[in-house]
């Protein structure tokens, strides 16, 4: 049952971002970097957090986005980044509820 709830939460959080075609430009990159930084700060206050894998994935995907030039590939990586950040936020939020 927890898996269904997690999948539903991911879909609900990601749907607005995926539904709107946003410009994948430097501003978008900066916004996503800020979201990752916020989640990183939240994780830093949680001793023994297990969200390191999600954090690494989000940071690596953002790095790939910054290095990619063709627009069609950037949109694809941006979609991957949205999902990675969503998983990171869920993991960071789950850790704060465990206290």
Which of 13-22, 36-45, 71-80, 87-96 comes out lowest in average pLDDT? Answer: 13-22
Q: Determine the Cα–Cα distance for residues 81 and 77; give it in Å rounded to an integer.
A: 6
Cα–Cα distances (Å) from 4 to 7, 9, 45, 54, in that order, read 5, 9, 28, 19
Delimit the domains of the chain by residue range: 2-97
For the chain, counts of helices (H) and of strands (E) = 4, 0
Q: Determine the Cα–Cα distance for residues 76 and 80; give it in Å rounded to an integer.
A: 7
Query: Angle at CA 51, nearest 5°, toward 49 and 91?
Result: 100
Q: What is the pLDDT of residues 3-32, one digit of tens each?
A: 556 665 666 666 555 555 568 999 999 999
The pTM score is 0.73
- What is the structure's pLDDT at 86? 95
């Amino acid at each position: 049952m927890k898996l269904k709830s997690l999948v539903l939460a991911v879909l609900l959080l990601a749907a607005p971002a995926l539904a709107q075609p946003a410009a994948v430009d430097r501003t978008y990159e900066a916004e996503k970097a800020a979201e990752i930084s916020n989640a990183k700060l939240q994780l830093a206050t949680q001793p023994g957090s297990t969200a390191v894998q999600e954090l690494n994935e989000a940071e690596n995907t953002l790095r790939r986005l910054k290095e990619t030039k063709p627009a069609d590939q950037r949109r694809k990586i941006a979609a991957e980044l949205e999902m990675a950040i969503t998983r990171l936020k869920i993991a960071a939020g789950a850790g704060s509820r465990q206290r």
